[in-house]
């Protein structure tokens, strides 16, 4: 496939949200949107991102020798800093504008990107909340989860616990067997709806930093290829880290940022603003 066959302008064209979709996100802190991207564009960037993952991947242990986190996915971050082609996708204004509208902010910055490739036979991703890892002063964050192919239930689509952003239980747990057991019990007790649905080709989900989510194992013989982009409010400030993972994220994803001040570093540029 050649680039001339792909309308790359779609990356920057607006995707029109209706008021009901925005209201749904703000109540539940997640939403799935259909037909965000056309199939040929996803095919093209799926190949581009897959090549970068193969080049940058450092996980070579057999599946049986990995821990639960290692079995869940191959995780390659900030690919945009190493590939101009991936940068073109990650900095597309279509995704960033959706994130901005869902949160109701003036614009969004890049926090970081990450490819999450769940290998054939790869394990489940435990229940967790992303913002446990992030030294960010408020919860104006959103992650775009972009599958590069359809994701049937047996491939391990992203699952959500609707409304779970309101409970404090489990927020101090990193992704692990412990988070799976503890958070699963807490969500059952609080009777939050568990949303488990396949993703159609072109469907993209958006979720906040504090909503609990997980993914099942990949029971197919195909790689589950997903690209994610994590956005934060353009006015986001750095907070003092509350755990070692937040300290690591400060050093890695916001180098040079100052506690109590706006995060405005070379790798946290504004992607979209009104």
Q: Does residue 185 belong to any structural domain of this protein?
A: yes
115: left (phi over 0), alpha (psi -120 to 50) or beta: beta
The total number of structural domains in the chain stands at 1
The upper half-sphere exposure of residue 45, i.e. CA atoms within 13 Å in the direction of its Cβ, equals 31
pLDDT of residue 1 exceeding 80, the answer is no
Q: Does residue 151 belong to any structural domain of this protein?
A: yes
Overall average pLDDT of the 184-195 stretch: 85
Task: Give residue 168's domain range.
Answer: 3-253
Rounded CA gap, 19 and 90, in Å? 26
Q: Does residue 109 belong to any structural domain of this protein?
A: yes
Q: What is the pTM of this model?
A: 0.93
Percent of the chain with pLDDT over 70: 98
The 8-class DSSP code of residue 61 comes to S
Which CATH number belongs to the domain containing residue 73 in this structure? Answer: 2.60.120.620
pLDDT in tens, 131-141: 999 999 999 99
The 8-class DSSP code of residue 79 comes to G
Q: Does residue 221 belong to any structural domain of this protein?
A: yes
Phi and psi of 179, rounded to 5°?
Answer: -65, -35
Q: Does residue 263 belong to any structural domain of this protein?
A: no
Overall average pLDDT of the 167-187 stretch: 87
Q: Does residue 262 belong to any structural domain of this protein?
A: no
pLDDT in tens, 79-115: 999 999 999 999 999 999 999 999 999 999 999 999 9
pLDDT in tens, 198-243: 999 999 999 999 999 999 999 999 999 999 999 999 999 999 999 9
Rounded CA gap, 1 and 13, in Å? 22
Overall average pLDDT of the 152-168 stretch: 93
Q: Does residue 174 belong to any structural domain of this protein?
A: yes
Q: Does residue 264 belong to any structural domain of this protein?
A: no
């Amino acid at each position: 496939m050649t680039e001339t066959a792909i309308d790359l302008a779609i990356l920057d064209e607006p995707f029109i949200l209706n008021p009901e979709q925005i209201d749904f996100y703000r109540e539940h802190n997640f939403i799935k949107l259909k037909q965000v991207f056309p199939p040929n564009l996803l095919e093209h960037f799926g190949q581009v991102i897959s090549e970068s993952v193969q080049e940058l991947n450092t996980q070579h242990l057999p599946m049986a020798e990995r821990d639960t986190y290692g079995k869940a996915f191959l995780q390659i971050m900030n690919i945009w800093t190493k590939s101009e082609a991936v940068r073109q996708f990650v900095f597309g204004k279509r995704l960033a504008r959706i994130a901005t509208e869902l949160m109701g902010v003036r614009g969004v910055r890049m926090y970081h990107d990450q490819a999450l490739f769940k290998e054939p036979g790869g394990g489940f991703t435990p229940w967790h909340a992303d913002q446990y890892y992030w030294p960010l002063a408020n919860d104006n964050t959103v992650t775009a989860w972009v599958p590069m192919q359809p994701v049937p239930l047996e491939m391990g689509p992203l699952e959500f616990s609707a409304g779970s952003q309101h409970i404090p239980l489990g927020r101090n747990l990193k992704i692990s067997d412990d988070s799976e057991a503890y958070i699963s019990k807490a969500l059952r007790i609080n009777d939050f709806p568990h949303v488990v649905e396949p993703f159609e080709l072109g469907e993209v989900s958006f979720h906040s930093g504090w909503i609990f989510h997980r993914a099942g194992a990949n029971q197919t013989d195909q790689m589950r290829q997903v690209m994610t982009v994590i956005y934060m409010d353009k006015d986001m400030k750095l907070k003092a880290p509350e755990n070692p993972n937040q300290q690591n994220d400060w050093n890695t994803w916001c180098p040079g940022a100052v506690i109590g001040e706006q995060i405005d570093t070379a790798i946290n540029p504004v992607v979209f603003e009104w």
